[in-house]
């Protein structure tokens, strides 16, 4: 997250925790970017964290697409559907009933 945005994801994680605790979290959207956050280890840790903090939320997996982005992202590869499918299977294995690929 820091590499892509220049900031930590602390505020995002706190928002998820707060909204889930108040039963107001509708969905979590995860942007998967090749070579940044789509490796099996990262997906597993993300799935475990979400299962511990927001186990009933909907998950939307979004594959990065370089079309229309600015450098340096314009040079990055698009996220392969196979990696999105793998991430979805990991989330389903962790108990998430609603996982959508975009």
Residues 6 or more apart whose CB falls under 8 angstroms from that of 66 comprise 73, 74, 75, 76, 77, 78
Cα 56 to chain centroid distance, Å, stands at: 15
pLDDT band at 5 (very low <50, low <70, confident <90, very high): confident
The predicted structure's pLDDT at residue 57: 96
Mean pLDDT across 62-76: 91
Look at residue 17 in the predicted model and tell me its pLDDT: 97
| pLDDT score at 81 | 96
Q: What is the mean pLDDT of residues 70-78?
A: 90
Candidates 27, 29, 26; CA nearest to 84 is: 29
Instruction: Give the model confidence (pLDDT) of 40-56 as tens digits.
Output: 999 999 999 999 999 99
Query: Mapping DSSP to helix (H, G, I), strand (E, B) and coil, where does residue 62 land?
Result: strand
Rg (CA), the chain: 14
Task: Read off the pLDDT band of 71 (50, 70, 90).
Answer: confident
Number of C-alpha atoms within 13 angstroms, CB side, residue 24?
7
């Amino acid at each position: 997250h820091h590499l892509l945005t220049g900031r930590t994801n602390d505020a995002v994680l706190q928002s998820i925790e707060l909204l889930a605790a108040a039963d107001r979290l509708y969905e979590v959207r995860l942007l998967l970017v090749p070579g940044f956050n789509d490796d099996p280890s990262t997906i597993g840790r993300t799935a475990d964290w979400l299962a511990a903090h927001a186990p009933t939320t909907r998950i939307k997996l979004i594959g990065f697409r370089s079309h229309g982005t600015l450098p340096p992202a314009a040079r990055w590869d698009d996220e392969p559907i196979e990696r999105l499918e793998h991430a979805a299977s990991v989330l389903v294995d962790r108990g998430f009933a609603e996982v959508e690929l975009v």
